Structure 1
Amino acid sequence: MYTVLLIGIGGFIGAILRYTIGGWVQNSFSNFPFGTLTVNIIGSFFLGLIMYLSEYQGVFSDQTRMFLTIGMIGAFTTLSTFSYESFRLLERSEFTLLTINLTATVLLSMFAVYIGKTVALSFATGIWRGFR
């Protein structure tokens, strides 16, 4: 029960962060869903960072890892919103924006996971020893 509560609290925090950051970014744009793209890239980076720090360094306990990844990042990233917004671009025949959104979200989110992994592994190789 404790773990479920922990994940729920993480989800609460992640959802508020998603609303705040996504909305703040989106307010600058009208047609293209930059808010969703931004939170997916940020979430992917932190998911990669946390998972690889957990795997290679044992930095987080299982409960902390679940709080951060399943709870916070799970509520923060937005595949369903991404899918809906992409479909709306398709419905409006905005094929260029649809292609940019699909390509940018998938490639930049995967790249963000890679960067998170790289940062995590740099801890393992001692680059960040002074910061631990």
Structure 2
Amino acid sequence: MKQFLLVFLGGGIGSLFRFLLSKTFNGYFQHFFLGTFLANILGCLLIGMVLGLSAKGNYLSENQTLLLATGFCGGFTTFSTFAFEKHSLLTSGDLLHFFIYTFGSIAAGILAIAIGLWVSRLL
């Protein structure tokens, strides 16, 4: 039961932070959802660090990993929103911004995971 509550708590906090980022940054550019992009990239960086530290053994407990990776990062990152925004760019015929945002998000996410894992090795 404790693990369910940790995931629930982390997910709620992550969702709140995602909401705040979207409210703050999504209006900056007409064809680029900066808040969603930041949530996904920061979530990738954080999950890379959390899972990297968890893999080291003595840095994070299973419960801390559940709270941070499964809970917080699961609630914070926004694949469904990402997919919806891609769909809206496609249906509006804005192929240039669709490709820039899609491939930029994927490349930056993979890079952020790698950086997070690298940082966790330094700690």
TM range (shorter): over 0.9
Q: TM-score, normalised by structure 2?
A: 0.96
Ranges in structure 1 where 5+ consecutive residues have no aligned partner: 124-132
Cα pair 2:25 2:33 within 8 Å, conserved = no
Ranges in structure 2 where 5+ consecutive residues have no aligned partner: none
Using the alignment, how far apart are the partners of 1:30 and 1:98 within structure 2?
12
Residue of structure 2 equivalent to 1:108? 108
Deviation at 1:32, TM superposition (A): 1.4
Aligned residues: 123
Q: TM-score, normalised by structure 1?
A: 0.89
Larger Rg: 1
Deviation at 1:6, TM superposition (A): 1.1
The root-mean-square deviation of aligned C-alpha atoms, in Å, is 1.0
**Equivalent residue letter for 2:52:** Y
Residue of structure 2 equivalent to 1:91? 91
Cα offsets for 1:29-59 (capped at 9, x unmatched): 2221121111100000000001001102531
Matched, 1:77 2:80: no
Q: Secondary structure at the match of 2:32?
A: coil
Residue of structure 2 equivalent to 1:2? 2
Structure 1 stretches of 4+ with a deviation exceeding 3 A read none
Identity score, percent: 29
Matched, 1:61 2:67: no
